[in-house]
Structure 1
Amino acid sequence: MTYLDYQATTPLAPEALAAMLPWLERQHANPHSPHRAGRAAKAAVEHARGQVAALLPPGGQVAFTSGATEALNWAIKGTRGPIVTLAIEHAAVLDTVAAEQARGRAVTILPVGHDGLVDLDAARAAIVPGTGLMAAMLVNNEIGVIQPIADLAALAHAAGALMLCDAVQGYGRVPIPDTCDLVAISGHKIHGPKGIGALWIRDGVGVEPLLHGGGQEAPGRSGTLSPALCTGFGAAATLMKTRADEDAAHVERLWNLASDGLKRQGWTLNGAAAPRYHGNLNLRREGLDVNRLLSDLGDIAFSAGSACASGSGRPSHVLRAIGLSDAEARSSIRLGFGRMTTEDELAAAIADIIAAADAQRVAA
């Protein structure tokens, strides 16, 4: 199978698996226990924490979580005051914000343009003194556009608000502005294991606990950490750093190959071509039956939209937010590729996608 769904999850790096195996096979101690085995487990967790922190701004601490969903919930529910966010955020942000709104917290959701980018004048008008939190995604998970996080952070700070950056898709790929106050990341989006993420918290920023119990993580997060997951996350983060230039050049070659081939066949890019992370290619073709395309191409793993919302039957809220009609949104596909995608397999997959889409037109 050709795997082209990197925004949903990435293949586990062999180096991450190798780092995890000893903690799964024979080193089973609780890292919060005081005995020698527990101290060894804790040392492994702290080493991983440093590896993850190496790709984050200075002047903050990394708190491990069960994933980015927990990290985002923690950041939003653990702060106070009115919230400003964007219409194309992940459900982990939008649904959490809606829950806070139901409890009486004021919320403003800013629209985006056809390119998927926020209007900074609109943001300036919304982020006023008294605002508590500005939340925005660095790289959008559906259309890959890169938001002006540094500009939004400046507006937030001018109003006395905190800046939360959902950096899940950008971590290790796109620089995270040093002016963020809270940053959510995930292990399985960087060739690490599922089930672990982190919330980076700037020094001096207080976030109330989301989970209560032992308070094992210094900022107040409770729960026993898995040394295996932590070490896998850390190894994956180190690879993102050491392979940064190699990975970026490879993704650029893949982007040119895929986008040139599809655009020549009448496919239209959804969202801005720049600024955009080029490992995400979201396109549409008029009249395309995406469900049939997915069925016809069972040996290619790709998405009809965000994997987090697939199966709902609803058009993507991101594609609707950038002005696409229901029909245009439903005729869109998302291709995600990266480190382990070869040029040959991508070229073959693009040819198969084009042929299957053309066959639908002939049949019609």
Structure 2
Amino acid sequence: MIYLDYQATTPLAPEAREAMLRWLDGPGGTGFGNPHSPHRMGRQAAAGVELAREQVAALLPPGGTVTFTSGATEAINIALRGCEPALAGMPMAVSAIEHAAVLDTARDLAGPCHLLPVGAEGVVDPQVPLPEGLGLLAVMQVNNEIGTVQPVAELYARARANGALFLCDAVQAAGKMLVAEADFIVISAHKLHGPKGIGALWVRDGVPLRPLITGGGQENGLRSGTLSPALCAGFGAAAELALARMEADAAHVAALWDRARGLLAEWELNGSAQQRYLGNLNLRREGLDVARLMSDLRQLCFSAGSACASGSGRPSHVLSALGLTPAEARSSIRLGFGRYTTMAELEEAAVLIDNAATQQG
């Protein structure tokens, strides 16, 4: 089995798994304590959580606080719903290629939601017109479907100049590049070789939020509920490793990209070739039956779009925003690779994909 779906999830780093094990002790162990308990085992667990918080925070800008969540979707909901009272019905603006967690949540709020278009290369124009009276702007740093890198620094500056808040979905960026400045930053552990079931919301100091989940008042009152020291530790170890390996991982991914582009040179690239993260290769081939391709290549794990939207039967909203026809969108595949992908695996997969597509006629 060759895994090429790194945008959906990444393999757990051995270092992250090792960091988690001590907090999974059963009877007779000392690592299963509740981090919110005042006794010795609780304090030990709390110290482990705080170490992980520091490790995750090191991936993010200074001047903010990390709150652990169950994942990026919850973090997005806390940010958008939590600041809604302060916005008092003011309009929001989000890019047309945002993840559904941002799009659907923004549309569900009281104020109007404006979609910001992207060009044919899948990038928001940094000078795109913004609505009058803007309350919040949300633009992701790296798109999950096509890998394009957005001009978030320029857009954040414009949001500030307009007195608006800025949310950045950095799920596909964190651990791979420096995360841009924002008021809210969302990341997810399992997209950077950590465990599933945990994410984080970074909130700039001084930005007020109403809690979405109330109860015990954990996480400074912003997100109640008992934290899992094991998940936090795995997240922290993965973040620390990603920071240490950022340059090496980027060089490896660039080499894989160059080789894949050479082997699949006849395929059309979706999105900018320059303004992108190179571990995301979204390609199309005229007349391609993607369902048949995936059925013929069951030894390969790749995607026809984002994992969250698979099975919907609708063309990708991201590819549609680029101006692709429904037929072009449906003839597209996404190959995602990274730290643990070998060159031999990528070469074998590319040849198999190309041959299977050619046999379709």
Give me the TM-score of the superposition, normalised by structure 2: 0.96
* Corresponding position: 1:160 with 2:169: no
* Corresponding position: 1:7 with 2:15: no
* Corresponding position: 1:106 with 2:146: no
Shift, 1:177, TM fit = 2.1
Shift, 1:219, TM fit = 5.2
What CA distance in whole angstroms lies between the structure 2 residues aligned with 1:113 and 1:181?
26
Spell out, residue by residue over 1:239-288, the C-alpha distance to the aligned partner (whole angstroms, 9 max, x if none): 1011111101100000001112112xx20000101110000000000000
Q: Which residue of 1 aligns with 2:70?
A: 66
Q: Which residue of 2 aligns with 1:258?
A: 260
| Stretch of structure 1 that moved more, 72-81 or 228-237 | 72-81
Shift, 1:159, TM fit = 0.6
Q: Which residue of 1 aligns with 2:46?
A: 42
What CA distance in whole angstroms lies between the structure 2 residues aligned with 1:306 and 1:172?
20
Give matches, 1:161-180, under 5 Å.
Answer: 161-178=164-181, 180=182
* Corresponding position: 1:149 with 2:152: yes
Q: Which residue of 2 aligns with 1:120?
A: 126
Contact preservation (8 Å) 1:127, 1:159: no
What CA distance in whole angstroms lies between the structure 1 residues aligned with 2:42 and 2:127?
52
Aligned partner of residue 199 in structure 1, secondary structure: strand
Spell out, residue by residue over 1:207-236, the C-alpha distance to the aligned partner (whole angstroms, 9 max, x if none): 111111112001511111000000000000
Contact preservation (8 Å) 1:88, 1:318: yes
Of 208, 211, 229, the match for 2:210: 208
One-letter code aligned to 1:151: E
Spell out, residue by residue over 1:9-60, the C-alpha distance to the aligned partner (whole angstroms, 9 max, x if none): 0000011000001111231111001111000000000000000000100011
Contact preservation (8 Å) 1:63, 1:219: no
Spell out, residue by residue over 1:272-329, the C-alpha distance to the aligned partner (whole angstroms, 9 max, x if none): 0111000000000000000000000000000011111001111111000100000000
* Corresponding position: 1:93 with 2:102: yes
What CA distance in whole angstroms lies between the structure 2 residues aligned with 1:36 and 1:73?
34
What CA distance in whole angstroms lies between the structure 2 residues aligned with 1:280 and 1:120?
22
Aligned partner of residue 309 in structure 2, secondary structure: coil
Shift, 1:174, TM fit = 2.0
Gaps of at least 5 residues in structure 1 are none
| Stretch of structure 1 that moved more, 320-329 or 22-31 | 22-31
One-letter code aligned to 1:111: P
Shift, 1:120, TM fit = 2.6
Aligned partner of residue 333 in structure 1, secondary structure: strand
What CA distance in whole angstroms lies between the structure 2 residues aligned with 1:6 and 1:150?
25
Give me the TM-score of the superposition, normalised by structure 1: 0.95
* Corresponding position: 1:308 with 2:312: no
What CA distance in whole angstroms lies between the structure 2 residues aligned with 1:223 and 1:106?
32
- In the TM superposition, structure 1's runs of 4+ consecutive aligned residues that sit over 6 Å from their partners are none
* Cα root mean square deviation, aligned: 0.9
Shift, 1:66, TM fit = 0.3
One-letter code aligned to 1:283: L
Contact preservation (8 Å) 2:214, 2:221: no
Residue identity (%): 63
Contact preservation (8 Å) 2:177, 2:246: no
Give matches, 1:330-345, under 5 Å.
Answer: 330-345=330-345
Matched residue pairs, number? 352
What CA distance in whole angstroms lies between the structure 1 residues aligned with 2:255 and 2:306?
24
Aligned partner of residue 75 in structure 1, secondary structure: helix
What CA distance in whole angstroms lies between the structure 1 residues aligned with 2:217 and 2:134?
29
Q: Which residue of 1 aligns with 2:201?
A: 199
Give matches, 1:222-233, under 5 Å.
Answer: 222-233=224-235
Contact preservation (8 Å) 1:319, 1:329: yes
What CA distance in whole angstroms lies between the structure 2 residues aligned with 1:8 and 1:219?
31
What CA distance in whole angstroms lies between the structure 1 residues aligned with 2:198 and 2:76?
13
1:142–1:235 distance in 2 versus 1, CA, 3 Å? same
One-letter code aligned to 1:204: G
Contact preservation (8 Å) 1:127, 1:156: no
One-letter code aligned to 2:335: L
What CA distance in whole angstroms lies between the structure 2 residues aligned with 1:174 and 1:113?
23
Contact preservation (8 Å) 2:91, 2:131: no
What CA distance in whole angstroms lies between the structure 1 residues aligned with 2:102 and 2:204?
19
Contact preservation (8 Å) 1:254, 1:346: yes
One-letter code aligned to 1:30: N
1:172–1:42 distance in 2 versus 1, CA, 3 Å? same
Aligned partner of residue 126 in structure 1, secondary structure: coil
Aligned partner of residue 121 in structure 1, secondary structure: coil
Aligned partner of residue 360 in structure 2, secondary structure: helix
Contact preservation (8 Å) 1:127, 1:155: no
Q: Which residue of 1 aligns with 2:186?
A: 184
